[in-house]
Amino acid sequence: MNGTRIDRDGPRRPLAVITGIGSGIGLAAAAGILRAGFDVVGVVRNDNRARETREVLLREPCLRDGAAGLQFVCGDLSRRAEVDRVCDGILALLAARGGGLDRLLYCAGTVTSRRVESEPGVETQFMVNHLAAFRMGLRLRDALAASGDGRLLVVSSCSHAIGLVRWRDPMMARGYGPAKAYMQSKLANVLFVHGFNRRLASDRLRAFAVDPGLVDTDLGGKRTRGVFFRFWGFARRWGVSAEKGAATAVYLATAVPLPDSPWVYYKRFRPRMPGRRSRSTAAIDRMWALSERFWEDSPEGRPMR
């Protein structure tokens, strides 16, 4: 199933910002969205990664004519100041274009077999997989709404349904486990999408959680070792390709119009009822408050907008 192709000859080519574009689902999503006629701003860690990603994407002949519409903003999404710097860079690009932002696809993610702090007191999985997505969604929400059909897509996982949030210890200072931390962050993604839609959605702006299924990428092997590393090496054999894993996100980004459904959790091109814990009003509000407080307590103390 494919989304409707966007009109390249319109007054303004639509623009998508994609995090995690350097590999896996993010890279595959970028290729699909470029093919659909979008310009793309990719978020990568550094200039070297940007050059490598550009080279990979432009190997495909049909994408070379869109090379001018492929730009990058560099930053480390595990650090608060860097997340804000990325948002500042994106907003500057949007101002130069004189237009809004049509799509924000948050595909960045990480798994670590041991607990890692990206900065004091900040656990890396919760930061990269959820808190950075929360910050970017709120800082770019006005630009998304200004496009007239803004869509925020956050890559989650079916594991959200069995995840638990450690409300008193979300950074897992005690009893860390890679799978527990990952499932918590994926549940946080769906709670965020529900919270975003409750507070900010309109006929000009909507958020979605995307379940790519089990995908054969190196996500579970980059920063893991021991039992989890071996488990991921075994499990990924049954995963689909990154292109198939990204297909639902590409569909949601490019379909015109979107299917009318009360559910905003998508898997295999269809809206699904997400896990019970992600539909709890109390949990949705509590995760929103927790995430807001994290950014309000940041060293920079910068406002959301």
Task: Provide the 3-class DSSP secondary structure of residue 209.
Answer: strand
- Region 94-102: mean pLDDT is 92
Produce one character per residue of 136-163: b if its CB has 16 or more CB atoms within 10 Å, e if not.
bbbbbbbbbbebebbbbbbbbbbbbbeb
Question: Which of 215, 209, 64 shows the shortest CA–CA distance to 134?
Answer: 209
pLDDT (average), residues 4-16: 65
Does the pLDDT of residue 230 top 60, yes or no? no
Q: What is the pTM of this model?
A: 0.88
| Number of C-beta neighbours around residue 9 at 10 A | 6
Q: List the single range of 58-72, 110-124, 199-213, 249-263 with lowest mean pLDDT.
A: 58-72
Tens digit of each residue's pLDDT (9 = 90 or more) over 14-54: 999 999 999 899 999 999 999 999 999 999 999 999 999 99
Cα(242)–Cα(244) distance, rounded to whole angstroms? 5
Is-contact 14 264, C-beta < 8 A?
no
> Residue 1 pLDDT more than 80?
no
Query: What is the reported pLDDT for 41?
Result: 97
d(CA 43, CA 147): 20
Q: What are the structural domains, with CATH classification, of the chain?
A: 15-296 (3.40.50.720)
Rounded mean pLDDT, 79-90? 97
The two three-digit tokens of residue 123, written as one number = 């656990």
Taking only the tens place, the pLDDT of each residue in 195-215 is 999 999 888 899 999 998 776
Q: What's the mean pLDDT in 46-64?
A: 89
Which amino acid, 234? Answer: F
pLDDT confidence of 63, banded at 50, 70, 90?
A: confident
Nearest to 265 by CA among 175, 167, 164, 160: 160
* pLDDT score of 259 more than 90: no
In 10 A of CB 186, how many CB atoms?
Answer: 28
Instruction: State residue 305's pLDDT score.
Output: 39
SS3 call for 56: helix
d(CA 64, CA 84) in angstroms, rounded, equals 31
Angle between helices 242-254 and 24-35 (to 10 degrees): 50
Q: How many helices (H) and strands (E) does the chain have?
A: 10, 10
- 237-260: average pLDDT: 82
